[in-house]
Each structure stands twice: as structure tokens, then as C-alpha cells.
Structure 1
């Protein structure tokens, strides 16, 4: 079956839409009678053309925004519960399943541009699994860094986004490489994922440990950092870890830092919101627990909880929906929490806006991430 986000399917449906339009124009004079057959013919031609045109537009929009990546995702068939996986000591939690070419002005050699690996991550504590991409900077492959552990930044898409769009549209690896080359960011490993692991289905969990449900926060704040430190030369120090994302991913990033500062000491939110919504995609996240709902309200945490030693960056624009709430967070935070903002004159909840915010966000992150650390001399 052709890929739901692939270009071939978009081309085929677009050609069908053009053919349907041409056929309708050609047949219309022949359907000009007053009988029921003529009426039915005009209705069929008009309705059929509209369906294929909307299908073509829908496929283009879906490919751009990454709403649904597979047919089973679209049809709601990915609803199987997570599976508990038992592991033996020393077993790898990360499996590399492929590699994607890294394009840059410096060429594609790993020592010059780095590499992007497609991975599957098994969460030993949460029982969840997730796929994604790991970007390894050029220094990871250079001999002088052979005994070095690198800082790590988890990058989350929005819901129901895909990690592929973090590479192809938001160009995180390219932005990171540019910042590294400009000495604005230390050589940093990126882990690019969607905020909904496998086994959760289409449910928007808002990165929560849901009562009697999937433990998504545990996966991202405990399982993933441990797996990366075990299977890659990534630092296990919280000051060498950051998390960032757009929309839902931005909310998750801030929540991880505020709730679990020993997991991530820096967080960047691009057009993120600050309170978990309740809608058909989320279901009942809190099981009627008002205290748990407050615990996941970021403004409430800043106003009522002890301030954690983390650095936060909030990106918004004057016409963004989150602009007013962002100002409330700015007014509510207190030391030792550090808070910065990016405020664009104009910008919407879209990829174009986020690509304007990512380069300065990388520079901001470079001033907060702990640098690479040499841990031992190679034998």
C-alpha cells in the first residue's frame, strides 16, 4: 500500500482530481436535461470531482503537517496496549534500525556533518517503546573526541506530528550543525521523537503518567536518558540534558523540566501551551484527580511550588494564542528558575514560525548546556 505521506500517492490523487475536473467539463453539456438521470449525472460528476480534489488537498496538508503517518494511524487501528518487555542485565535498550543521509554545506561525511540514525527505544521502567532519530554531531566521529561524552537535547514534535518533520521541515540537525560550527552550541546529540510512544495508539497523552494507563512521563524523563547514556556517548548529568518542542512538544518540554529537574535542566517551548487540554483526543487524563490536574498546570506550579533550578525559554508572537498566558508565566516565575522569551511581531502556530525561532533558541541553549566532558582516555 502506498505511503500516506509519500509523494507518489499525492501525485496520483492530484492527477485524478485534474482528470475528474476535465471529465466534468466535457460531460456537463450532455447532462443538461431535466430528467432524473440528468440530475443524478450532474450530482455524481460534481460530487465526485469535489471528493478527489479534497482528497488531494488533504494528502498535501497531511504530508506537510504530519497529522497521520500510516493508514492504520488514519483508520485508528494503532490502539494496541503497550507490552511489558523483560530484559537481562547488559541488554541494549536502543536498536539502530537505519540511517538517514545528513545534508549540509560541508558535505555528507560523518566527520564533517554528523549522522542521523533511526532508532527504536525500549523503556525498561515504563514498558513503552518509541521510534525516533538520533543526530550525532561531527565531533562524535572525530578521533580527538573518542573519550568524550556529549550533551543531549530531546526534541519533541507536536501532536500528532512525526519525528521525520523535525528533520525535513524544521531542520533541527541542520540548525544544530550551523550553531556548532558558529561556536554558539557545544557539540550536542539530538534525540528527535513524537510525544506519543508506540502502544498508546492515537491518544494524546500530554506526556503524562496516566493513572492506570501509559507512563509516558517516566519514559521520557527516566527511560530515555538512561538508554542514551548507556548506548551512546551521552552525558548522564542533568545539566548536560535539555528538552525542546513545538505545540504539545513545547508543553511537554516545560513540564519535564519543572516536574523532573534532575532529568532536564533546560527546556524550550515553541508555541507551547501551559495546561493539559481535555478533549476527545486526550480522554480523561487525570481520572478525576484535581490535585493531579493542578500538578500538570505549569502556571499553577510556578505560583505554588518551590522554584526548581532550571532554565526555560518560551517562544511566542504578538498574535499567538499563548501570548497572554506567556506573560502570566513571565510574571509568576521566581529564582532559582531562569526564564527567557522570544516574541515575534507576527507568527502563527505553524512550521514557518518555528523555523524563525529555532536558530536563536539553539544559541540560547548553547549558553546553558554543560559542554562535552572527557571521561577516560581510549585504550
Structure 2
């Protein structure tokens, strides 16, 4: 499944002396230990039936030891299935270096690399120094859908006299499913990272919109226009840009709009750019995937149509459809499940599409990994997003 002829970030040699966190051997060992702990507890329980303190401690130790063993075994199996943490260092939060962006040419040759990004902090809390976050509802005129809750971060420049009358570029940040936009603020720290990048002049002053991709209850529509169902893609690609430019001083040109997301949000981000380049000219996917399938959380996404399913397969589109004039950044790691598909995307794209990657040495499907990718992703975006422009006269 690996795409050929492409250069990526150099991987770290795997240490076979340490059992892989997602490997079958450690799951077997943990399961055997859990069964053994349960069996030992059943065998020893009659001997621990006394009323003295030793018997009490023995029963407590047997009970909690068995519970912990079972939970560890279940956790390892679940982690292997979902890919939350790929290595022990990822689980313990020891992988802290940011990712490196690699730009590619058609055929996969890496042509330039940007270095590690420094973190900057802002002093003070006044809106003219650090900006403000507003909780909003966004009503879709054409789709009939409402995005709520949504949060809009207005950078400090939005309130400064020097930028009076200026229209700003917009970045849409999407969570995964079933994520919440509040996590984009608290755990992924998008407003803080955006402000840091603006202060470091790595990103133009930008209005940030933070949302979840789910617009209809808890149904995972994968940001699709579902035949006979919710028109989520129309909301994000048509209604939202129109609402933002009407309600805020946001530039309505497609080159002034970008979208970033993790997991499901990453799939949505790339799909918006590839399918609707007049809506977003830049897209960033953190641990994203590139095709979707029906499951219990989605219901029927395709109305029984193989053509609709294929048309939402992003790898198929890069291979078979005319190349859109957009810039894409795909973030993965050498341990992630989406690594082979990302390599295939690199091998498939054609001009005028521009494609870059971030490939971490290790990382899983989790917030810690994504916080390492967001700062370099914003720097990458800074050279592609249109600068703030004076509002048209009248």
C-alpha cells in the first residue's frame, strides 16, 4: 500500500527490546496476567476469609489487583484498535519536539524543509493585546443547518486602530468525531498557538473559527452532503464563509480562507479544499484519513450510490480528477495507521495542487501528538494565506 518514489522525514529505528504498545505480544501478556490474577483471586479467596487485618489487606489487594490487571488488558486492546498512543514515550508524553514540514513535488521528491518552531507567549489579557473569543451560532442559509456551539477568536489586530476597516483571512479549525470545540481551545490551544504565530510574524493576523464537524445531533456525517439528508458540506463550504464575511471583517476571497482539523476534521479539511477549491485554498489534516465508509455512527452516507462514495474518496480524486489549485498539508507519524495512505496521497497529487507533509518519528491518534503539529502547520499556512486587505470602499 506504500506509495513509491517519495522522500519523508527520517524514521527512528525501532527498539525490539521494548514490547510495542500496540503490538499483539503485549496484549497477550496483559490478557494472560488478567486471567491469572482472576484465577488466583478465586483460589485464594477462601483463605482470606478471616477478620484480622491481614485478611482484610489480602482481600483488598486481590480485588484491586484483579481490577487493575483487567483494565490494563482492556486498555491495551482498545488502544491497539483505535491507535490513541503508538509508543510508550507517546503515552508518557515524552515526545515533545514539534514536527517538520516537508514540501513535495509531483512524484514525491522533497524540495524544501522548514526548521523547528519556537513558542511565543503574550503578556496581558486585554483584547487589544491578546484578542478575544466569542461563542456564536452560525446559521446556514442554503443548508438549513446551524453550527452550535461555535467559537470565533478575533486577534488583537482586529481591535487596533491601524487595522480599522481591514478585512482579515479566516482559518476554520475542526475537531474530530465526537469531539467538542471547547477541546480546540483548552487542549489543542488553537487561539494561543494562533496568537503566538501572529506575534512571531509566522502567520498574518487571522480570524479563527472553531467548530465540531457534527451538525445534526450526534450523527457523524463526515462533512458530506448526504443524499436526502443533512447538507454538511454545503454548510461548511458555502454557508459558513458567507456568514463570517457578513458578520465580521473577514475577507471573502478563497485564497484568504483555510481549514485545519484532526481525525474526522482532517478528512473534512482536505475534502473541502479538493472538492470545493473556491471555498478553501489551503487545508491541513492532522491524523486525517482520506475515504469514508458507512458505520453505526454515520448511517447511510451515500444513498446506496457507489458513485457518491467514490467521489468522496480523496485519493481516488487526486488520481482521477483534474488537480485543484490548492495547498495541502498532511500530518502523520511513522507509527500511525494513516501513514501508508498519506504516502499514497503524496505519490498521487499533480500540479497545480501543492502538497506538504509532517511526519513525526512517533505519535498516535491523540491531543499530545496534534499539539506538536499545530505550530509548524500554522507557519506553513502563513506563507499561503492571503494577507489582511483594506475593505472595499462603500
- TM-score by length of structure 1 reads 0.73
Given that 2:122 and 2:196 are in contact with CA atoms closer than 8 Å, whether structure 1 keeps it comes out as: no
Residue-by-residue CA offset, 1:98-130 (whole Å, 9 max, x unaligned): xxxxxx632111111000000011111111111
Residue-by-residue CA offset, 1:197-236 (whole Å, 9 max, x unaligned): 1xx1211100000011110001000000000000000000
Match of 1:326 in 2: 342
Structure with bigger RCO (C-alpha 8 Å, 6+ apart)? 2
Match of 1:23 in 2: none
> How far, CA to CA, are the matches of 2:131 and 2:142 in structure 1?
31
> How far, CA to CA, are the matches of 1:174 and 1:376 in structure 2?
30
Given that 2:272 and 2:279 are in contact with CA atoms closer than 8 Å, whether structure 1 keeps it comes out as: yes
* Counterpart pick for 1:146 among 157, 161, 164: 164
Shift of 1:187: 0.1
- TM-score by length of structure 2 reads 0.70
Match of 1:279 in 2: 295
Secondary structure in 2 matching 1:192 = strand
> How far, CA to CA, are the matches of 1:230 and 1:328 in structure 2?
39
Secondary structure in 2 matching 1:340 = strand
Match of 2:145 in 1: 128
The runs of at least 4 consecutive aligned structure 1 residues that moved more than 3 Å come to none
Given that 2:174 and 2:213 are in contact with CA atoms closer than 8 Å, whether structure 1 keeps it comes out as: yes
> How far, CA to CA, are the matches of 2:292 and 2:347 in structure 1?
20
Given that 2:202 and 2:379 are in contact with CA atoms closer than 8 Å, whether structure 1 keeps it comes out as: yes
Shift of 1:32: 3.5
The correspondence of residues 1-379 of structure 1 with structure 2, limited to 5 A, is 32=49, 105-130=122-147, 131-197=149-215, 200-376=216-392
Please list every run of 5 or more consecutive structure 2 residues that lacks an aligned counterpart in the other structure: 1-44, 51-58, 76-120
Shift of 1:376: 4.8
Given that 1:136 and 1:189 are in contact with CA atoms closer than 8 Å, whether structure 2 keeps it comes out as: yes
RMSD: 2.7
Shift of 1:288: 1.0
Given that 2:291 and 2:313 are in contact with CA atoms closer than 8 Å, whether structure 1 keeps it comes out as: yes
Secondary structure in 2 matching 1:242 = strand
Shift of 1:377: 6.9
Residue-by-residue CA offset, 1:18-61 (whole Å, 9 max, x unaligned): xxxxxxxxxx99x939xxxxxxxx9xxx79x97xx98xxx9xxx
Shift of 1:185: 0.2
> How far, CA to CA, are the matches of 1:346 and 1:321 in structure 2?
12
Equivalences, count: 294
1:279–1:137 Cα change, 3 Å: same
> How far, CA to CA, are the matches of 1:377 and 1:240 in structure 2?
19
